[in-house]
Amino acid sequence: MAERVEDETTVNDSYSVTVPAAVRRQAGIEAGDKLRWTVDEEGTLSVEIVKQRVGVFEDFEPAPMGGDGATAHDRTGAKR
């Protein structure tokens, strides 16, 4: 099991916080990830990491629309 990491930060005047480096490393938080904040009925705050999925569509090939590629088409495939 992963080692427990605990730290604290201060909320600044614009209500922003910095995630401490040790917490980022332990949780695997990277630039572009999002943090989803939840407060339950008892007032308990939890934070979930929403990973940024870079390159998720890189294996997909574009759908052929016909023509030489120089003609613009709308979403239905009709020429504009």
* 38 within a domain of the structure (yes/no): yes
pLDDT in tens, 17-74: 999 999 999 999 999 899 999 999 999 999 999 998 766 667 777 777 666 666 666 6
**pLDDT above 60 (res 1):** no
pLDDT at 28: 93
CA distance 8 to 18: 9
Whether 80 is in a domain gets the answer: no
Whether residue 34 lies inside any domain: the answer is yes
Determine how many CB atoms are found less than 10 A away from the CB of residue 20: 14
Domain count across the chain: 1
Nearest to 34 by CA among 47, 22, 43, 23: 47
Residue 75: pLDDT above 80?
no
Domain that holds residue 44: 21-50
Q: How many C-beta atoms surround the C-beta of residue 33 within 10 A? A: 15
Beta-strand ranges (E) seen in the chain are 34-39, 45-50
Of 46 and 80, the structure prediction assigns the larger pLDDT to 46
- Is residue 36 domain-resident? yes
